Amino acid sequence: MKKMDEMELHIERTATRWAYRYSEAVLFFWCAGTALWGLKTGLSWQEVFERIQLPSFLLISQEAVHDAAVLICRAKAGDDAAESTLWKTIALLAVWGLVSVWLLGSILELVL
């Protein structure tokens, strides 16, 4: 494969940014439109949430993956602030995961 010159690289990055922002906008308007339509037609909050569960998950996970990729790339490039933020985020996610497992185990123990 040939090396990309600067113009091709710029075009590829611009196209990627536009595609990312487009999918972000579509998912946001899908969630907002469904929520407004559901409330207007008299659906309960639970029914509205069930209808927007998938697009909201996609929107949140897409943003999380984007932010993580940027943070990891900045840390690999030698940015000290990004590296410390990355380690803090990893520690926070580990603590959050352990607390979630503990809470889930406690709830299941109470039910059983």
SS3 sequence of 44-89 = CHHHHHHHHHHHHHHHHHHHHHHHHHHHHHHHHCCCHHHHHHHHHH
Residue 95 has pLDDT above 70, yes or no: yes
Cα 111 to Cα 64, 98, 102, distances in angstroms? 33, 20, 14
The predicted structure's pLDDT at residue 110: 78
In the prediction, which pLDDT does 98 show?
A: 94
In this predicted structure, the answer to whether residue 94 has a pLDDT above a threshold of 90 is yes
Q: What is the pTM of this model?
A: 0.69
Binned at pLDDT 50, 70 and 90, residue 18 comes out as very high
Averaged pLDDT, 68-85? 91
Confidence of residue 23 (pLDDT cuts 50, 70, 90): very high
